[in-house]
Amino acid sequence: MSQEISLGNRIIGPTKPAYIIAEAGSNHNGNIQNAKLLIDIASEAGADAVKFQSFKADCIASRYNPAYEIFKKNELPREWHKELFEYAAKKGLHFISTPFDLDTADFLYDLGVPAFKVASGDITYLQLLQHLGRLGRPVLLSTGKSTLGEIEKALEILATDKVILLHCVASYPASYTEMNLRAIQTLQGAFPGCLTGFSDHTLDGICALGALSLGARVVEKHITFNRHAEGPDHSFAMEREQFMAYVQQIRALETALGDGYKKPTPQEKETLGKGRRSIHAAVDISKGTVITEAHLKIVRPGNGISPDHLPSIVGSVAAVDIPEDTMIKWSHLKKNRI
């Protein structure tokens, strides 16, 4: 997988730092100051983006749906969007949102969002997918509750190469036993043209670290100003301090993952000789002695001749007297073998 996707001023790709999205969702509780507080939390933690959910209750649920009133209560007013977009930019964050209908997708496009997020529940909403694909911005496609066949169909409808597949378990919160993180590798194998990410609904950061180790390049995590606040998403979201630690752990893991080349580190090079062995004299060796294995021992430090040169030393002649425990040097030996 070598694809890279430009998302605003950031490049997302296999060799780039993970793109961390703070999912504010509907945790603003109908208050724009709460929404700004969530942006502050995302910025202070070092996230790359803050994400909201842009929906109208009438466009997402029937009035007879028991969830209708919850959606109605948690709408993100259109008039907030520009202010929040600009506030996020001021805080160094991308503003992203999830559109749940075509008109809102157009509204977000005109606002200038760098990407669209598609919720897991809309992976079969083909009309929305087709519309988003035509708009040409990157799409973060959440895959909770879906099959490979449904994902394949969604990608066909999107008809764009700017898709990041987010492995997701749509349980709130999700348990370790549900996570199946190896599905990230399955997505990579089934859809090699797509980058992968992880929409994290667990209560801590363990699975995010595992996802990154498996190749996820985007991580999304719900945040809140108070886990005990009223609302559908607060209870499994992270508060300020926990989210800050979450981001720090991700960045630390990225440092630890390195570039994949197997070689001694600079620090290892400094102590290389201390931990390895080299060839030493096991006894006093007089000048002119034909050296046998009995004259030698392989011990630390390893600053002398490496043990793999033992066959070249056995049978050679001592050019000088070599006291017991002396590290053997090539200058101790005659070049001509007997």
Alpha helices in the chain (DSSP H): 32-45, 57-60, 68-73, 78-90, 102-111, 126-135, 148-158, 176-179, 183-190, 206-213, 240-257, 266-270, 272-275, 310-313
At 34-64, the pLDDT tens digits run: 999 999 999 999 999 999 999 998 989 999 9
Fold for the domain defined by 273-332: Type Iii Antifreeze Protein Isoform Hplc 12 (3.90.1210)
∠ CA 155-62-81, rounded to 5°: 65
What does the pLDDT average to over 124-146? Answer: 97
pLDDT at residue 217 tops 80: yes
Residue 111 to residue 126: CA distance in whole angstroms: 23
Burial of 309 (0-12, 13-18, 19+ CB in 10 A): middle
Name which of 36-45, 67-76, 87-96, 112-121 the model is least confident about.
67-76
Q: What is the mean pLDDT of the chain?
A: 95
Q: What is the pLDDT of residue 232?
A: 86
Q: What is the pLDDT of residue 1?
A: 41
pLDDT at residue 249 tops 60: yes
Residue 115 main-chain phi, psi, to 5 deg: -160, 160
Residue 173: asked if its preceding bond is cis (omega within 30°), the reply is yes
Placement of tokens 């043209």 in the chain: 193
Residue 199, both tokens: 């929409």
At 251-286, the pLDDT tens digits run: 999 999 998 899 999 999 889 889 999 999 999 999
Instruction: Please give the residue that has the higher pLDDT: either 73 or 36.
Output: 36
Tell me how far CA of residue 265 lies from CA of 258, 259, 260, 272, 300, in angstroms.
11, 12, 12, 10, 20
Residue 301: asked if its preceding bond is cis (omega within 30°), the reply is yes
List the one residue out of 147, 158, 217 whose CA is nearest residue 183: 147
Domain with CATH 3.90.1210.10 in the chain: 273-332
Domain 17-257, architecture per CATH: Alpha-Beta Barrel (3.20)
pLDDT at residue 325 tops 50: yes
Half-sphere exposure of 171 (CA within 13 A, CB side): 11
Which residues make Cβ contacts (< 8 Å) with residue 150, sequence separation at least 6?
123, 124
Placement of tokens 């909201």 in the chain: 52
Tell me the helices (H) and strands (E) count for the chain, helix number first.
Answer: 14, 12
Which residue pairs from 247-252 have beta carbons closer than 8 angstroms and sit at least 24 positions apart in sequence? 247/20, 247/45, 247/46, 247/47, 248/46, 249/205, 249/208, 249/209, 250/18, 250/20, 250/205, 250/208, 250/209, 250/212, 250/219, 251/17, 251/46
Q: What is the pLDDT of residue 219?
A: 98
Do residues 201 and 171 touch, judged by C-beta distance below 8 A?
yes
Tell me how far CA of residue 108 lies from CA of 51, 54, 55, 90, 176, in angstroms.
12, 9, 11, 18, 34
Domain with CATH 3.20.20.70 in the chain: 17-257
Pairing of the two strands 116-118 and 218-222: unpaired
